[in-house]
Amino acid sequence: MADKLFDKILIANRGEIACRVIRTARRMGIRTVAVYSDADSGAQHVEMADEAVHLGPPPAAQSYLLGERIIEACRTTGAQAVHPGYGFLSEREWFAKALDAAGIAFIGPPASAIAAMGDKIESKKLAVLAGVSVVPGFVGEISDTDHAVRIANDIGYPVMMKASAGGGGKGMRLAFSEADVREGFDATRREGLASFGDDRVFIEKFIEQPRHIEIQLLGDKHGNIVYLNERDCSIQRRHQKVVEEAPSPFVTPDMRKAMGEQAVELARKVGYFSAGTVEFIAGADRGFYFLEMNTRLQVEHPVTECVTGLDLVEQMIRVAAGERLAFSQADVRLDGHAIETRFYAEDPYRGFLPSIGRLSHYREPPVGKGVRVDSGVIEGSEISMFYDPMIAKLITHAPTRLEAADLQIGALDRYYVRGISHNADFLSALMQHPRFRAGESVTTAFIAEEYPDGFTGAPVEDAHLPSLLALAAVVGQSAADRAANVDGRLNGDADAGADWVVELDGVQHPVTLSFAGAGSFGGAGLCVSVDGVRLSVDTGGAVPAFGVVEAIVDGRPLAVQVDRKGSGFTLTHHGRQHRMRLMTPRAADLQRHMLPKVAPDLSRFLLCPMPGLVVSIAVGEGERVEAGQILATVEAMKMENILRAEKSGTVAKLHASAGDSLAVDAVILEFD
């Protein structure tokens, strides 16, 4: 054991991972120092830390990537060690070396291992030497697009083009033809240069029907290395992970052992210690191939913590302080099943476009009983265009996989976030999808295959519809009661026993509410007749005007998110948003004769789909364009988005140019 753990550590990161490290350090009795940019001056990690040091302006290159500024912050505050989290400086060899030269411990692996594994080309060569299975591909440097085309043709399509220093789904393009390579190679190089300062690209065979399986490693400075089972990260969108789980429903015990042992051998080859992850791609035949090694803590580490009972941040701190691992491979547990979903600031109803803004309302679901939330925000926090769009991670742990998925659905129903768009509905839909719940056929193409036309909400469950209608009626009745008590209103008191009509998603349902005595949930019980079917509803007290409404409907718990919208409401439940209005029978009869409102025709405009920076405009005024042709490229949250023509036409006027910062729905150009 080490003589003494650190007294104070600095967290060279932001957001949820900074808060995550602070929580463990606090439990261990270690003081913490946060760093922050101008955009994060009021951020949660700054509030949680014992001290905080300002770094600079919002762009990461002027703040969180300034290693010398961070080292100076350590000297100023007396921090003895730095935890880098993930991203930013976590896999920069020079930063680990600079800390060592300054006499400050790096809570991570040795600089030599970071260098060896940080370059995808070199890491693949080392994997071969270590006896690890690798994907066929070209591991040298690629000089230009023509060279890339020749390599791709030799390997055979489909191929994947990857930025050598890439990660997090950035700097990756899938090519099914020579045309795809010619179109995407330069963009891959640009993304690699912009995100990682390295424009080298390598090309490898794309494994069809693939699963993304990774092995979590943990080693100490005394040569002990163990693997902590696997995680399945197959559900991805644009190569970014959306859902992670442990263990994988696809991996057999023999496969787990083989993958784990190969990962350990690779780690030994580079003298690895601390936490690290070896990523594999597995085909339908359960053959697996090395992708890369991440020499840091992974975003999805909580699912491994759930099934092993270990705190990986604590283990990293202890290893950095010189302690030996207190357990061996035989001691590693595999307890139940854990699922993590990434709660992103993006709009799944608009093609998953990024969303920025202030969290006007932020209420996490109740934690405990198998539910965990790792977040770095509070109500009022700002989601900035400068950083990753992940708001939080929702983790559930249960004896079985389906129970863990059901915990996710229930927690997402209770995760109330407003002020920005987010992907909670999409995550809930994934947890309910029959193919996900079956487990066996989930590949990295799952989202593309199951949502080829985008996301419009989870399917309505007919069995849940009567309960939803009953609670909708109670919500509408409560709103009517509040309105009736406002002085000066002409509509008088609302009668709780009156007949009503609930219009849900344009379909009208007759309902009647009546008082049924005290409810078992702690509040007044109501009897609601929906389409002639009687249901008991107990809300436990007054129904809030907005937010999460909880009730017991016919003996079963029900949680629905309620938002006022015009003369009606939006009800969100189980991954779907429902439009709801409560009307008198007379008003409902008149409503049937109302003409629908026609939306304005915006088809002659190219609108900016998200707040972002215009990278390029590919056409000029007066130019004829065809459907599918590239019109502009917009960068948002470190990703380039190519905007294409939806139909043929002629460009009449340009309203934006390269370098412009645009708001969502700003006009980029218009057609004749």
Displacement of CA 436 from its chain's centroid (Å): 17
Element (H, E) at 12: none
Question: What is the distance between the alpha carbons of residues 568 and 631, in angstroms, rounded to a whole number?
Answer: 39
Among 23, 107, 97, residue whose Cα is nearest residue 275: 107
Q: How many CA atoms are closer than 13 Å to the CA of 277, on its beta-carbon side?
A: 24
Answer whether 300's CB lies under 8 Å from 241's CB: yes
Pick the catalytic residue from 16, 191, 230, 292: 292
What is residue 630's DSSP assignment? Answer: E
Please state the φ and ψ torsions of residue 425, each to the nearest 5 degrees: -60, -40
Strand segments, DSSP code E, in 309-434 are 337-344, 346-347, 353-354, 357-358, 361-363, 371-375, 382-383, 390-398, 416-418
Burial (Cβ within 10 Å: 0-12, 13-18, ≥19) of residue 90: buried
CA 149, distance to chain mean position in Å, is 33
Round to whole Å and give the CA distance between 17 and 362. Answer: 18
Give the gyration radius of the chain's Cα atoms: 27
Find out whether the peptide bond into 158 is cis, omega within 30 degrees of 0.
Answer: yes
Residues 6+ apart with CB under 8 A from 658: 614, 615, 616, 617
Q: Assess contact for 574 and 557: CB atoms under 8 A.
A: no
Q: Is 292 a catalytic site residue? A: yes
The residues facing 560 across adjacent strands are 549
Residue 477: both structure tokens together: 């009745």
The torsion angles phi and psi of 581, rounded to 5 degrees, stand at -135, 145
The owner of tokens 């730095």 is 82
Q: Report the SS3 class of residue 118.
A: helix
Looking at residue 397, its amino acid is H
Residue 464, class by beta-carbon neighbours within 10 Å (0-12 exposed, 13-18 middle, 19+ buried)? middle
The separation between CA 420 and the C-alpha centre of its own chain, rounded to angstroms, equals: 14
- Closest to 346 measured CA to CA, from 267, 426, 402, 429: 426
Distance between CA atoms of residues 619 and 669, nearest Å: 10
Alpha-carbon distance of 572 to 442, in angstroms, equals: 27
**Mapped to the 3 state alphabet, what secondary structure does 23-90 carry?**
HHHHHCCCEEEEEEEHHHCCCHHHHHCCEEEEEECCCHHHCCCCHHHHHHHHHHHCCCEEECCCCCCC
CB 613 within 8 A of CB 666: no
* Cis peptide bond N-terminal to 247, omega within 30: yes
Nearest to 69 by CA among 115, 35, 27, 120: 35
What is the Cα–Cα distance from 642 to 487, expressed in whole angstroms?
A: 54
The catalytic residue positions are: 292
